[in-house]
Amino acid sequence: MQVATIGLDLAKHWFQVHGVDAAGAAILRKCLKRAEVIAFFQGIEPCLVGMEACASSHYWAREIARFGHTVRLMPPAYVKPYVKRGKNDAADAEAICEAVTRPTMRFVAVKTPEQQGLLMLHRARRLLVRQRTMTACAIRSHLAEFGFITGQGIGRVEPLLERLAEEEGERLPGEVRDILFMLAAELATLGERIAQIEARIDAQHRANPVSRLIATIPGIGPITATAIAATVPDATAFRSGRDFAAWLGLTPRQNSSGGKDRLGSITKRGDTYLRHLLFIGARNVIRYPKAREAAGTAWIEALVARRSRTVAAVALANKMARIAWAMMTTGEVYRSAREATA
């Protein structure tokens, strides 16, 4: 019998397959070893293949699509309601097979190897920045135990270490001095590695027309622009800019019933990294007058007058996300508020 739809539950070594025919009747239940997956899909007629958007899903989507199959990736949270019984691989594969055929299901665009490589640069940079912050905090904390105090921030650690190098006497034991200089060398190495990754990201930004287009928005630079361009390969997957902002978790949480709309704080769902970058960019726009003027001084100043700067930054990040979606879908260049009203 002809297999119309397949649900594939991904794993590290063992893959569960659940297939149905055009009428929805189950005709295939099979467990495959990792080495058997390619041969299996190569030997069957092209059909619809559903998978959860999880680790290695983009790789398998590209490999399976080479044989003419239509591959759809879905967020795991949208697949979970279709699990009919206890959690196991066979039940997950059946739920995936059912969910992929739903007309209202939302899918994740399959990323290219180049897009995944760019995102890897961002993930590596984020890891190194976190390690640099931890090392700097460790240096500050250790020195505070010996009476050396300084403020927060990476830029204030280096002057503190210079004071330590000039310090004479017995305020610091020899072991402490050696370990602190070791941490200082690690801090400098992390800074160099971060600079190297940022240089690669900047090169990718200059070669990507979508990234250059998004970077014209006030508050968005090469880091944020390349992250958006790589994470969202197909902006038309979102019906509107608000849907894109909601996917990033920048819209209010709703708890409405009986005709009464109750809005809370933002949902904080979706991509944490993009939301963080947009928030940082929005906060810088509010802070610096030139960027604020380009983004629309009147709107921002009226918002800051009513609410706190943090709330205003979240609202501006929401607006930036919607503008980015509009530019990615239409290809239009960013126009400032003054140019738009002229």
What is the tens place of the pLDDT at every residue in 36-56?
A: 999 999 999 999 999 999 989
Query: How far, in Å, CA of 193 to CA of 82, rounded?
Result: 45
Amino acid at 30: K
* pLDDT value for 16: 96
The pairing of strands 5-9 and 70-74 is unpaired
Residue 174 corresponds to which tokens in the numbers above?
A: 């020899």
Residue 219 corresponds to which tokens in the numbers above?
A: 């508050």
Q: Beta partners for 30? A: 17
> Measuring CA to CA, which residue among 131, 274, 268, 123 is closest to residue 201?
123
Task: Tell me whether residue 265 is exposed, middle or buried, using C-beta atoms within 10 angstroms of its C-beta: 0 to 12, 13 to 18, 19 or more.
Answer: exposed
Question: Is 262 in contact with 200 (CB distance < 8 Å)?
Answer: no
Question: Is 76 in contact with 52 (CB distance < 8 Å)?
Answer: yes
Query: How far, in Å, CA of 318 to CA of 336, rounded?
Result: 17
CATH class name, domain 5-101: alpha beta
Tens-binned pLDDT, residue by residue, of the chain (342 aa)? 689 999 999 999 999 999 999 999 999 999 999 999 999 999 999 999 999 999 899 999 999 999 999 999 999 999 999 998 788 999 999 999 999 999 999 999 999 999 999 999 999 999 999 999 999 999 988 888 888 888 888 888 888 887 777 765 567 777 888 888 899 999 999 999 999 999 999 999 999 999 999 999 999 999 999 999 999 988 998 999 999 999 999 998 888 888 888 888 888 888 899 999 999 999 999 988 877 777 777 888 888 889 899 999 999 999 999 999 999 999 998 887 655 555
Q: Beta partners for 33? A: 14
Query: How far, in Å, CA of 35 to CA of 207, rounded?
Result: 37
Quote the strand ranges of 21-61, DSSP E: 26-33, 48-52
CB-CB neighbours of 154 under 10 Å? 15
Question: Is 226 in contact with 208 (CB distance < 8 Å)?
Answer: yes
The pairing of strands 48-52 and 26-33 is unpaired
